[in-house]
């Protein structure tokens, strides 16, 4: 039991370390953007007085490390500063967009994970027979096509040819869930298709590995039904490596939405990120980058802890080894 505890503590500490490091890197990266930030915001014809005033207002006259600690201190309290463009608090703005993105993310993950696990297991069980060929080919194609192309094809099919779903979202960030819901399906489908491909491949491989393992052979020799062998013995073993892929893919979603949301004009975090980069709205960029890092770290942490829960070997590591 002590082993489990140390393992968890070690992972959580590592996660915090990663976060701290990424916060430093985010901060430095934004500092390193070409040109003085104040000049960037005011434009090249700004008077030196205006630039000096803005630098002071933005706190740019303070040393970098002091600004970093101010930023982190604020961020821990949910205060990410004010947007240079809208002059509203960044935290509230980002939260609103993040909520909209979460809607896509939840739908995507539900579809991608359940769908691809089923398909992956099927492909693994019917290895080298036609269901496997069909599933593998389709998922390989899905894996090779970038998400914006998938998105465009989906728009062509479901908005232009057979107009059942909206091609773009015409509402702003303040739109309600009811307004956004019809617009969620196409972006979620584009992301799910690309994401599913990886999970299908991984689930298939693990199922094949597990089905060839000795303990499955033993279970079969004991005379258990195929259904029982698959659900009780093969699946938990096969899920383990797949879990990591799922976690990484959920983390990838954070980047994937940036592209897909812009194709669909969906008022989510990805669209906000793109606009902010174009506007050089630095506090917003910093906040989104940091939040993305948090999502990444949490996903990985969850994957690690999850695999520990599923894998007795990891669970007992550090304990008595026979």
Partner 1 sequence: MSETSLRTDPGVSGIPRRSVLAAAAAGGGALAGSALLTGCSGAASASPAEAVPSRGPAGRPDRGGTLRIARPPASDAETLDPASALSAYEYLGALYNRLVRVGEDGKVAPDLAESWEPDDAARTWTFRLRRGVTFHDGSAFTSADAAYTLRHILATATASPQGPVLAPLVDPKRLRTPDPHTLVIPLKSPHAEFPSLLTHYNCYVVPDGSAKSIGRTGIGTGPFKLASFASAGPGRVVAYGDHWAGRPVLDAIDFFSVADMQARANALLAGQVDLLSQTNLDFATARVIAASSRATIARSKNAQWYVLPMLTTEKPFTDVRVRQAMKLAYDPEHIRKVALQGAGTLGWDNPVPPSDPTHIAAHPAHDPEQARHLLKRAGHERLAVDLYTSSYDPIFTPMALAYQESAARAGIRVRVKTAAADSYYTQIWMKKPLMATYWYTGRPVDQLLNQVFRSGSSYNETAWSDKEFDALLDRARRETGEGRRRELYGQAQTLIVDRGGAITPMFADRLTGISRKVRGYAEHGFEFDYLGIGLKGA
- Helices 269-279 and 235-263, interaxial angle, to 10°? 50
Decide whether 237 or 270 has the Cβ nearer to partner 1. Answer: 270
**Residue 252 engages partner 1 in binding (rule: CB under 8 A):** no
Give, as ranges, the residues between 13 and 52 that touch partner 1 (CB under 8 A): 34-35, 40-46, 50
Q: Which position among 8, 85, 95, 302 is part of the footprint of partner 1 (CB under 8 A)? A: 85
Cβ of residue 256: shortest distance to partner 1, in angstroms? 12
**Residue 173 engages partner 1 in binding (rule: CB under 8 A):** yes
Give, as ranges, the residues between 104 and 143 that touch partner 1 (CB under 8 A): none
Q: Which position among 172, 176, 178, 312 is part of the footprint of partner 1 (CB under 8 A)? A: 172
Cβ of residue 31: shortest distance to partner 1, in angstroms? 17
Cβ of residue 11: shortest distance to partner 1, in angstroms? 37
Q: For the chain, how are helix, strand and coil distributed in percent, rounded to 5?
A: 80, 0, 20
The beta strand positions in the chain, using DSSP E, are none
Runs of H (alpha helix) within 156-268: 177-211, 214-221, 226-228, 235-263
Q: Which position among 72, 125, 277, 305 is part of the footprint of partner 1 (CB under 8 A)? A: 277
Q: Taking contact as CB under 8 A, which single stretch among the options 7-15, 206-214, 257-265, 311-319 is the one that binds partner 1?
A: 257-265
89 forms bridges with which residues in the sheet? 82
> What is the total count of residues that contact partner 1 (CB under 8 A)?
47
Q: How far is CA 1 from CA 8, 13, 66, 105, 106, in A?
A: 11, 19, 43, 35, 34
| Best CA proximity match to 54, nearest among 65, 67, 43 | 43
**Residue 160 engages partner 1 in binding (rule: CB under 8 A):** yes
Decide whether 150 or 208 has the Cβ nearer to partner 1. Answer: 150
Q: Which position among 98, 274, 298, 302 is part of the footprint of partner 1 (CB under 8 A)? A: 274
- Within a 10 A sphere around the Cβ of 170, how many other Cβ atoms? 10
Cβ of residue 251: shortest distance to partner 1, in angstroms? 21
Which pair of structure tokens corresponds to residue 86?
A: 């809208």
**Residue 95 engages partner 1 in binding (rule: CB under 8 A):** no
- Within a 10 A sphere around the Cβ of 175, how many other Cβ atoms? 17
Cβ of residue 162: shortest distance to partner 1, in angstroms? 11
Could you give phi then psi for residue 47, rounded to 5 degrees?
A: -75, 150
Tell me if 97 sits within 8 A of 267, measured CB to CB.
Answer: yes
Tell me if 283 sits within 8 A of 289, measured CB to CB.
Answer: no
**Residue 280 engages partner 1 in binding (rule: CB under 8 A):** yes
Question: Residue 137: which H helix or E strand, with range?
Answer: helix 130-144
Dmax (CA) of the chain: 85
**Residue 181 engages partner 1 in binding (rule: CB under 8 A):** no
Decide whether 163 or 312 has the Cβ nearer to partner 1. Answer: 163
Interface contacts to partner 1, rule CB under 8 A? 34-35, 40-46, 50, 83-87, 146, 148-149, 151-153, 155-156, 159-160, 163, 166-168, 170-174, 259, 262-265, 271, 274-275, 277-281
């Amino acid at each position: 039991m002590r082993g489990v505890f140390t393992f968890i503590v070690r992972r959580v500490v590592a996660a915090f370390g990663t976060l701290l490091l990424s916060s430093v890197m985010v901060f430095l990266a934004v500092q390193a953007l070409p040109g003085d930030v104040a000049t960037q915001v005011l434009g090249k014809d700004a008077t030196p007085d205006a630039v000096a005033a803005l630098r002071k207002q933005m706190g740019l006259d303070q040393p970098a490390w002091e600004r970093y600690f101010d930023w982190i201190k604020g961020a821990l309290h949910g205060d990410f500063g004010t947007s240079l463009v809208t002059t509203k608090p960044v935290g509230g703005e980002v939260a609103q967009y993040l909520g909209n993105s979460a809607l896509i993310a939840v739908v995507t993950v539900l579809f991608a994970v359940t769908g691809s696990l089923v398909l992956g297991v099927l492909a693994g069980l019917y290895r080298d027979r036609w269901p496997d060929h069909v599933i593998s080919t389709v998922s390989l194609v899905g894996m090779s096509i970038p998400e914006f192309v998938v998105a465009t094809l989906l728009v062509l099919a479901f908005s232009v040819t057979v107009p059942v779903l909206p091609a773009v979202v015409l509402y702003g960030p303040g739109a309600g869930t009811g307004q956004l819901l019809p617009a969620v399906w196409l972006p979620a489908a584009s992301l799910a298709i690309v994401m599913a491909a990886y999970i299908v491949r991984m689930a298939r491989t693990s199922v094949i590995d597990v089905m060839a393992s000795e303990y499955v052979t033993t279970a079969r020799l004991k005379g258990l039904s195929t259904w029982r062998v698959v659900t009780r013995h093969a699946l938990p073993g096969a899920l383990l490596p797949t879990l990591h892929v799922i976690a990484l893919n959920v983390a990838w979603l954070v980047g994937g939405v940036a592209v897909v949301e812009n194709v669909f004009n969906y008022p989510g975090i990805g669209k906000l990120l793109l606009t902010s980069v174009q506007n050089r709205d630095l506090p917003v960029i910093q906040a989104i980058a940091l939040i993305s890092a948090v999502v990444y770290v949490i996903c990985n942490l969850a994957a690690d802890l999850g695999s520990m829960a599923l894998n007795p070997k990891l669970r007992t590591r550090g304990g008595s080894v026979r």
